[in-house]
């Protein structure tokens, strides 16, 4: 008569299957915003990117229109910086990657300015 093995004698087979990781989009919440200017602000908990694409000329002031905001956890912001630095390498030496002094000055002014809603 054959002896039965107890559950303590049976060793589980380890799986060596590697799971793939893919990106997906939520069709109900996904959006794209084209930005020609970005203002970065930090709070005590996160990093906020204000996305802007147009500046309206008023009689007394310029109004930079914010089309949206991305709020990032500090770790996500660090990963973004790393990925942006890598992606920007493909634009090295191209005129499209040169930032004009007028654009730099506009960003400095916007960082100091008031927000009008």
> What's phi and psi for 49, nearest 5 deg?
-110, 115
- From residue 45, how far is each of 11, 14, 48, 68, 99 by CA, in Å? 47, 41, 10, 19, 30
113: nearest Cα among 62, 42, 67, 68: 62
Q: Does residue 30 belong to any structural domain of this protein?
A: no
115 pLDDT tier (thresholds 50, 70, 90):
low
Judged against a pLDDT cut of 60, whether residue 31 lies above it is answered with yes
C-alpha Rg value of the chain to the nearest Å: 25
How many domains does the chain fold into? Answer: 1
Q: Is residue 101 part of a domain?
A: yes
Of 45 and 93, more confident = 45
| Residue 31 resides in a domain | no
- pTM of the predicted structure, to 2 decimals: 0.70
- Range(s) of the domain holding residue 45: 37-112
Mean pLDDT rounded to a whole number for the chain: 85
Residue 57 lies in a domain: yes
Q: In this structure, is residue 25 part of a structural domain?
A: no
Sheet holding 47-57, edge to edge: 37-42, 47-57, 62-72
* Residue 111 confidence (pLDDT): 84
**Is 43 inside any structural domain?**
yes
Note whether residue 3 is domain-resident. no
């Amino acid at each position: 008569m054959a002896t039965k093995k107890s559950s303590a004698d049976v060793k589980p087979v380890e799986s060596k299957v590697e799971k793939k990781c893919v990106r997906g989009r939520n069709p109900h919440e996904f959006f794209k915003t084209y930005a020609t200017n970005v203002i970065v602000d930090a709070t005590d908990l996160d990093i906020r990117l204000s996305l802007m694409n147009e500046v309206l000329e008023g009689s007394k002031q310029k109004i930079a229109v914010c089309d949206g905001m991305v709020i990032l956890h500090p770790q996500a912001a660090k990963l973004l910086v790393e990925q942006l630095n890598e992606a920007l390498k493909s634009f090295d030496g191209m005129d499209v990657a040169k930032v004009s002094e007028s654009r730099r000055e506009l960003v400095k002014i916007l960082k100091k300015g008031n927000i009008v809603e």
